[in-house]
Structure 1
Amino acid sequence: MGPSSYHPKMMMKMILCAYTQSVFSGRKIEALTKDSIRMMWLTQSYQPSYRTINRFRVNPLVNALLRECFVQFRSQLVTEQLIDEEAIFIDGTKIEANANKYTFVWRKSIDNFDEKLTEKSNVLYDELVKNTIIPEIKRESANELSVTELGQIEEHLAQVVEKFTEKIEQEEDGTTRKSIRSKRKVPKKIRKLFHDFKERKLAYQKHRQILGQRNSYSRTDPDATFMRMKDDHMKNGQLKAGYNLQIATNSQYILGYDLFSNPTDTRTLRPFLTTLKERFFELPAYIVADAGYGGEENYQAVLEDHERTPLITYAMYYKEQKKKFKQNPFLPANWPYQELEDTFLCPNERKMNFRNYSIRTDKYGFKRYLKRYECEDCSNCPLRSQCTKAKSDKNREIQKNMNWEYFKATIQQLLSEEETGKLYRQRKIDVEPAFGHLKACLGFTRFSVRGKQQTHNEIGFALMAVNLRKYKLSTLENKKDSSNNLKNRRPKILFTIFSLLFYGSWDLCPKLFNYLFFDTFLFLCICNCCNTCNKYTYERD
């Protein structure tokens, strides 16, 4: 039957306690259960092995427990009025994966190798058919041989080689045998080539399946993507395998999180908002983020899909506010628009007439609807050299995305108002410190597990540890001055020593234990409270 299992609550408390002390290794957590009095109290003197600890924190079922911890933690913060429900602040950072630096697979390399393989296999196949070494096969495409077709060619060549082998075995004359053997060399060599082509083709297909929409991945951790990290010690722009962590905060508390394999923040906002809504909490009135999230697709998602107000700048927002930009007469953004005639006036006061509509679809399938305008006549214009670089026989053309212009005007109006502008300026002091607490204070800069599911669990423990440390600091600030604390601490310490020596029990009051060692919320989230004696009890296996 084996020994009984440890209770998940005890395992959660143990791992969260270790992460708050910047201990992330399974072996070191095991050592804490034997050396740390705090850990002994939490585990009730149980000592799980590092294998048990590692298996627990990568278990898929732990993801639901972590989500529930974040939900309960937010409810506790709202009850204590430590956060408001008016807005959330979103940002992302890259964390290095537990992967080798030189196990990269690049999409461009796969495409180049596959293109050369296709070209070489087509040439060889044409020569084989031309020399009547093998019969012609039915092809699905005239440009490329599929894996099945490469296998058929290999089988035909194997039959040719087998026929030559039979002739060699039947022939008794040595000179004739040598002549047949020399004829067999060519199809035998080409058969090996086509076998290699087939294996490589299968490998390229597998690489593309793992890549998905990404441009790279690591063989050590296929879910990790090579990204440009900020801590570039060599100063050569070296890429490292990592994950893109997205968090939502309020008052520097992390309320929700998710991991993504794509390095840019622009493509993460829509799925991240969906994750927050479905798994953590109802979205507040304002979604605040920096210019990395500014885009037509994201504005449309926040305004129309979620019906919330985006306080998100776009890439050119600050540049457009400068005097130099506004006074540049050659920028189409500064040209007067005549709504009735649907025309723009260029710096030489010539009309830019509407020409046609066009649709631009990006590689992710998002469509942008554009209106194209062309100047009525750019010939003999004294400002032509300053206005356009087009050829002398062509007029100046511009294109306008009216949907994008509407979103830009909306954002400019929102950020110019006092209340919403103040809320956006709060972003820097709200979400950025959370990453500082995670990386600098907690020391979590690299994952110790591999795979997206496993790393998602580990970052959940780390972020909850950041919240607990932050919560502890906020509760300490509300206490009395240090002199009063020192006076009140002495009898509690004496009571603790007396309880340990006289009763020999770890079953202390949780408030006393919080005062001495750890955080109150850790017990509120993952312990059962007995109302009769106001002490925490633990379910035994």
Structure 2
Amino acid sequence: MFKHYTMNQVVLPLDFEMKLQENDIAYAVNHIVEHIPEESFVGFLRETGCPAYHPRMMMKIILCAYTQSVFSGRKIEGLIKDSVRMMWLAQGYEPSYRTINRFRVHSEVKELLRQCFVLFRCQLVEEKAIEEEAIFIDGTKIEANANKFTFVWKKSIEKYSTDLIEKSNQMYEELLEKEIIPEIERESSDELSKEELSEVVKKLDEKVKKYDQEIEESEKAKDRKQLRSMRKEPKQYRKQFQDYVIRKQKYQNDMEIFGNRNSYSKTDHDAT
């Protein structure tokens, strides 16, 4: 025996809320947005043209979609047609993906999102889910990519550090040969320290700013074009050396954490 099933029977539509579970995320989203003061939506009012969708409704469907890891305007539009919770929040309206995207870039939306965050935190405090002084709910650090290793290996860091030394030395020599920057004082010719790398960045920054000033003062388009072309190389070097400074600091920190060990965990430095 099968349960009765037919596609030809006329069925009266039920309230979508009846289909939602008691702890559905849609209720939390609805609660937060409904507590935003009415005056916060004044900036969305239009005196002419076709009546717009209510910003409360637009905020609800966007926030609810985000909780489901759906960020594309077209996919949010699809959810409104397929998802019961989205149908309930939209109350039968079906805004297009263009309308959704236009709403998201509205100048008032940023402030609304800030208010939602504040209201959500206040709600958690009221329900005693977190303490009022809490800054972090959970201090656990988890890799965004589950396929990445959570351990850092000493041999790998030593190899990366050696490569960094070779590349930075080579690039520094190129800068001197091309006379892009003057020579800096170095403690050792074997490698550039973090401070010396920062000094190179400073020199390159001065060079780029000099070109910026010359471009601004130049009256001829041809000269400005040539100056921009000349500025490109020191800008590229500056970006590379900024990266070297960050990596140099990271590798130094890694070596301090290692101590006498051959590895450590990214989420728990005491683990090996």
- TM bucket (normalised to shorter chain) is 0.3 to 0.5
Q: TM-score, normalised by structure 1?
A: 0.23
Q: TM-score, normalised by structure 2?
A: 0.46
User: Is the helix fraction higher in 1 or 2?
Assistant: 2
User: Is the strand fraction higher in 1 or 2?
Assistant: 1
